[in-house]
Amino acid sequence: MKKKSIQKPAPARKTRPARAAKAEAPATPLIAGPLHTRRLGSALIVHLGTRPDKHCTWNCIYCQWKNAPKSTHERRQPVPDKDEILAQLADLLAKPRKPVDAIVLGGSSEPTVHPQFAELVEGLLQLRKKLGGKWLLHCISNGSALDREKVRRACDSIDRMWVKVDCATNELFRKANLPAARPISLEKHLNQIEKLKSPLIQTTFWRNAKDSELQNWSPENLLGLLNIYERLKPACVHLTTLRPSSMFSKLRPIHYENLEAFAQRVSDLGIDVEVFP
């Protein structure tokens, strides 16, 4: 299915069939890929922590990096320097290979808390111009550093700035996303997203087989999320769910048909939405 531009969103609902991601070995200790991703096509993933460590300000209960070494909020080793990242990317992009659709700041760490985040974003955009690249720059973030003006300006220059919103109540937000390193309320999180010029929202859904109060697939949370989407007016919403995994023995994915039905409710708000089961 041909993807629509989301520069000027129109009420639309798109779906993608489930496809297994096929990954090459990490190109460098900092960069993985190219990976065939469900959402972004062929992508190079830039890890802004020290792999394989997880350096994140949240500890979401469904995180695929949940068992990575070290605490989620400690930086016991220096983070990679922007010049090192740019040099490695320039070398990779200069090699003959299949076209890359996306460069993604994400992976095992929260991108916006990197001390050179703004400078790295500027360098990546300059690198694309220099190489004549056609790829889009994505950032997948929990928005931890959006209270910093310099970071927000950098986020506004990124082609696709994805911010996580899974929960519609502060209680569930605190329990499920576990923003431990930089304590924050849901309301403050939403206020910070509102300061972005064109935010995109990523929501991951799950059921909990043993604790119904620790799941976000509930009538109350779904209604609350619709209200949040209407408030934030994102250019696009991506709805995702978990992949079956032994890491999440209590957590269950949401069936495609159910995601589709909720996507229709989002589309009815006049918001562009895509489903990735």
For the chain, the domain total comes to: 1
- Is the residue at 17 inside a domain? yes
- Is the residue at 82 inside a domain? yes
Q: What is the C-alpha separation between 221 and 190, in angstroms, rounded?
A: 15
> Which is nearest to 60 in space by CA: 275, 251, 258?
251
- Is the residue at 150 inside a domain? yes
- Is the residue at 7 inside a domain? no
Q: Which two tokens stand for residue 258?
A: 């159910």
The mean-pLDDT minimum among 19-33, 37-51, 79-93, 215-229 falls in 19-33
Q: Are 216 and 167 in contact (CB under 8 A)?
A: yes
- Is the residue at 2 inside a domain? no
Q: Radius of gyration (Cα) for the chain, nearest Å?
A: 18
The CATH number of the domain holding residue 103 is 3.20.20.70
Tell me what percent of the residues of the chain surpass a pLDDT of 70: 78
Using 50, 70 and 90 to split pLDDT, how confident is the model at 27? very low
Helices (H), 5-101: 82-94
Q: Which two tokens stand for residue 24?
A: 């090459």
State pLDDT tens for residues 196-222: 999 999 999 999 988 888 899 999 999
pTM confidence score: 0.83
- Is the residue at 258 inside a domain? yes
Strand partners, 44: 103
> Which is nearest to 62 in space by CA: 276, 264, 253?
253
Q: Are 72 and 111 in contact (CB under 8 A)?
A: no
Say how many C-beta atoms besides its own lie within 10 A of residue 235's C-beta.
19
The mean-pLDDT minimum among 11-15, 17-21, 116-120, 186-190 falls in 17-21
Using 50, 70 and 90 to split pLDDT, how confident is the model at 76? low
HSE value, Cβ hemisphere, 13 Å, CA-based, for 172: 22
Q: How confident is the prediction for the chain on average, in pLDDT? A: 83
- Is the residue at 263 inside a domain? yes
The letter for the amino acid at 136 is L
Using 50, 70 and 90 to split pLDDT, how confident is the model at 117? very high
Domain coverage including residue 138: 13-276
- Is the residue at 4 inside a domain? no
What one-character DSSP code corresponds to residue 99?
Answer: P
